[in-house]
Amino acid sequence: MGSERVKLDEPLSSHTTLRIGGPADLFYEAHNSGELIKAVRLARSFEVPVTIIGGGSNVLVSDVGVRGLVVKNCGGEMEIRERSLFGFKKHKALPIDPRWVGSEEGTMRYDFSDLDYDESEYPDVEVAIDSGVSLQAAMFNLFEHDITGLQWYARIPGTVGGAVFNNIHGGNHVFSEIVKDVVLLTKHGDVIKIPAKSMRFEYDTSRIHQSGEIVLEVVLNLKKGNVEKARAVADEWRRRKSSQPFNSAGCVFKNISEKDREILGYPTTATGYIVEHILNMTGYKVGGAMISPNHHNFIVNTGGATAKDYLAVRDEIVKRAKETIGMELEDEIIRMGEFNY
């Protein structure tokens, strides 16, 4: 791949939003899907394990690092495909509960329901985007072409590939709503294209969590919409989410279901509400890892935190939730590397 492109013992703390993580044995940045495919196929031909990262959010990397090759997927292209009136079948998204009920209590006093609006009246546009493209860069770039539909995911860090992998949610929207097709690299090195209905999208997950496939490209169903309105919504979305700290990996746990919210009698499905108001864990800290006082479903790196510190805080939350409300919280953060502690 080129000696100047491949790094040895690269600290992964430099490539994650949490700023935690030991070294990768081998590290390579793929700038497009072609380079990503080549790197993965080469590594596998030498029986070297491969790990893919994107923007480095939503992951916790072990203190001892990751063995084998880590490929940072960070680049690519977009292709806008105008739809004719009769050229495409109408896209129908599968219904998925985004597990979002806004809260007026505690530090999470934000809601997005007043920002939601229907775009179904606008013309459809298909956009093919390489998986390494930044989600926020894609949103702003498409606004320049009067294309809307990504405004619901403003201020969510990471790549388009990561958005597909985790089927991310923004308020009452989930990413699978706009996914038409996904191009994947299989474990055997084949490139396949599958429809969204075959992705097994659910809340914060997809088939890729089990299949070991790698996202190469996604085809999105977007709109030739009201770009001024979309920009205003994205700006307000980002303002309301400003309490979410960047020196973190994102939400530690999945939100609870609407059924569990009703059973428990809570005003919101947000797990942060439970941590703050039910478990009373504001300010809980181990080493450099601390529950964020601004958003209690975030564990932040206050400086020098290790993965062990992070997990100690996470484990205490899980323990207290089990003891207090009898609920086993579900992890949202993906672990990478060896965790023997």
Q: What is the DSSP string of 145-165?
A: TT-BS-GGGTT--SBHHHHHH
Are 217 and 247 a contacting pair, CB within 8 Å? no
Whether pLDDT at 86 is above 80? no
The amino acid at 305: A
Rounded Cα distance, 87 and 60, in Å: 44
Architecture of domain 6-73: 2-Layer Sandwich (3.30)
pLDDT at 92: 59
Question: pLDDT (tens digit, 9 = 90+) per residue, 7-34?
Answer: 999 999 999 999 999 999 999 999 999 9
Average pLDDT over residues 43-70: 97
**Phi/psi at 305 (nearest 5 deg)?**
-65, 150
The amino acid at 133: V
295: left (phi over 0), alpha (psi -120 to 50) or beta: beta
191-195 and 285-286: which strand pairing?
unpaired
pLDDT at 123: 93
Residue ranges in 87-226 assigned as alpha helix (H): 135-143, 160-166, 208-211
Are 112 and 237 a contacting pair, CB within 8 Å? yes
Average pLDDT over residues 212-220: 97
Whether pLDDT at 38 is above 70? yes
pLDDT at 211: 95
What residue spans define the domains of the chain? Answer: 6-73, 78-241, 245-336
pLDDT at 243: 74
Res. 93 pLDDT band, cuts 50 70 90 = low
pLDDT at 186: 97
Average pLDDT over residues 35-61: 96
pLDDT at 104: 60
Element (H, E) at 174: strand 173-174
Whether pLDDT at 90 is above 60? no
Architecture of domain 245-336: Alpha-Beta Complex (3.90)
pLDDT at 213: 97
Nearest C-alpha neighbor of 103 from the set 238, 251, 295? 295
Whether 245-336 and 6-73 are alike in CATH topology: the answer is no
Whether pLDDT at 97 is above 80? no
Q: What's the CATH code, domain 78-241?
A: 3.30.465.10
Average pLDDT, the chain: 91
Res. 164 pLDDT band, cuts 50 70 90 = very high
Res. 163 pLDDT band, cuts 50 70 90 = very high
Rounded Cα distance, 122 and 142, in Å: 15
Average pLDDT over residues 55-73: 97
The amino acid at 215: V
